[in-house]
């Protein structure tokens, strides 16, 4: 039995690949703009609110999500440069970028879980003060 029979290799025309890269890059730019504007406005709002555990968590989540959105810029640069590595050509940048992406996503997820737990406690015990 031929082990490679499960795989189909398709040759993609470079012009189609460039079109898809441009489309994906444009979509990522749109998401970055929405993410940075929305999270920066939310950060300012929550930083001015009365300081409770929930507002601290919301502030931290919006800050991390803001930086997560900004962190996709090197991918966009790579897509618009014809898949040249641009910033990803440097080993140090790749290491730092990977650590940041993992950290931002993991800590943001943890904070959302923590926020969900605090909101659940608030629902179960409505008269418990913050």
Averaged pLDDT for residues 47-70: 93
Query: Which own/partner pairs from 67-75 qualify as long-range (CB within 8 Å, at least 24 positions apart)?
Result: 67/100, 67/104, 68/35, 68/101, 68/104, 68/105, 68/108, 69/31, 69/32, 69/35, 69/36, 69/39, 70/32, 70/36, 71/97, 71/100, 71/101, 71/104, 72/28, 72/31, 72/32, 73/32, 75/28
Closest CA to 32 of 88, 76, 63, 82: 76
Averaged pLDDT for residues 96-101: 94
pLDDT of residue 128: 79
What is the average pLDDT score of the chain? 89
Averaged pLDDT for residues 9-27: 83
- pTM score of the predicted model: 0.79
In this prediction, residue 9 has a pLDDT band, given cuts at 50, 70 and 90, of: low
């Amino acid at each position: 039995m031929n082990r490679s029979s499960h795989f189909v290799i398709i040759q993609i025309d470079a012009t189609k690949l460039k079109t898809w890269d441009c489309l994906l890059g444009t979509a990522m730019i749109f998401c970055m703009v929405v993410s940075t504007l929305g999270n920066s406005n939310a950060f300012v709002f929550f930083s001015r609110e009365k300081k409770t555990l929930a507002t601290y968590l919301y502030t931290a989540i919006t800050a991390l999500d803001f930086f997560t959105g900004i962190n996709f810029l090197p991918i966009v640069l790579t897509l618009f440069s014809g898949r040249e590595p641009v910033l990803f050509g440097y080993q140090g940048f790749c290491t730092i970028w990977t650590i940041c992406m993992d950290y931002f996503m993991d800590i943001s997820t943890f904070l959302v879980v923590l926020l969900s737990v605090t909101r659940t406690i608030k629902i179960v015990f409505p008269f418990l003060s913050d």
